[in-house]
């Protein structure tokens, strides 16, 4: 595991890239490397995080422009090879816009930008993203988004439920998401997108450590 490296993608407008890197390096001793969005060489990273922020100023729709970056074009092969990709907040929006995950994220029902800690139920263990030694089924993570309302049609929702692709559900739905969805995986389980920020919950001094095991699971095979 010594050389395992997590690529943290930097788009113009990303603002959680350094937090993710700090959490991985400082709290988990996992090596990271920043990947500029114009790079398409993913050969020396073993997993990828698409961090939160406002890529390309959220122009047109959140994640819509990022989808056309060289890095996202190269991501298809990376995902197909089974390597792990974690999309947090804006990263989740990019994963839905680019078709790696189904559905879309739209403006919160109450139009507020919500910055809060939320309680979440771990629904599926697919991909092992939320396995933890304490076997917690409910965790607390911070959210910070204006456009985090997960939306999909009823056929897609049925598919998500039937195939156990719903990873996390809000206990008290803050934004109007369909079926209280806060995070989903792809069918293989190697891609996770979620609106909450695990990297902001990696140290007791800043409010909790429930994000640690999700970041740590990036090194799972």
Q: To the nearest whole angstrom, how small is the minimum distance from the Cβ of residue 162 to another protein? A: 19
CB neighbour list of residue 48: distance below 8 Å, 6 or more residues apart: 6, 7, 8, 9, 35, 42, 75, 78, 83, 84, 85, 86
Active site residue 25: no
The verdict on 38 binding another protein (CB under 8 A) reads no
Q: By CB under 8 A, what part of segment 119-158 binds another protein? A: 149, 151-153
Residue 37 contacts by C-beta under 8 Å, 6 or more apart in sequence? 9, 10, 11, 12, 55, 66, 69, 70, 71, 72
Q: Considering the rule CB under 8 A, would residue 176 count as an interface residue with another protein?
A: yes
Among candidate residues 158, 199, 200, the one with its CA nearest the CA of residue 179: 158
Given 89, 97, 152, 202, which residue is catalytic? 89
- Which listed residue (108, 124, 190, 217) binds another protein by CB under 8 A? 108
CB contact at 8 A, 69 and 175: no
How many residues at the interface with another protein, by CB under 8 A? Answer: 20
Query: Which of 18, 61, 140, 159 is the binder for another protein (CB under 8 A)?
Result: 61
Interface residues with another protein (CB under 8 A) are 60-61, 64, 68, 96-97, 102-104, 106-111, 149, 151-153, 176
């Amino acid at each position: 595991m010594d050389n395992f490296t997590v690529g943290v993608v930097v788009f113009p407008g990303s603002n959680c890239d350094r937090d993710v890197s700090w959490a991985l390096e400082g709290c988990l001793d996992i090596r990271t490397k920043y990947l500029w969005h114009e790079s398409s060489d993913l050969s020396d990273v073993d997993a990828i995080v698409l961090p939160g922020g406002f890529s390309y100023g959220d122009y047109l729709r959140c994640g819509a422009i990022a989808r056309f970056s060289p890095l996202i074009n190269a991501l298809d092969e990376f995902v197909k090879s089974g390597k792990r990709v974690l999309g947090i907040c804006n990263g989740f929006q990019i994963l839905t816009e680019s078709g790696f995950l189904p559905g879309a994220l739209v403006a919160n029902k109450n139009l507020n930008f919500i910055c809060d800690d939320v309680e979440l139920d771990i629904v599926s263990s697919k991909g092992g993203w939320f396995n933890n030694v304490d076997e917690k089924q409910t965790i607390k993570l911070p959210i910070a988004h204006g456009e985090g309302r997960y939306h999909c049609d009823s056929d897609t929702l049925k598919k998500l439920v039937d195939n156990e692709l719903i990873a996390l559900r809000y206990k008290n739905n803050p934004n109007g998401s369909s079926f209280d969805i806060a995070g989903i995986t792809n069918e293989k389980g190697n891609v996770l997108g979620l609106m909450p920020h695990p990297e902001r919950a990696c140290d007791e001094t800043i409010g909790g450590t429930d994000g640690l095991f999700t970041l740590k699971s990036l090194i799972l095979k």
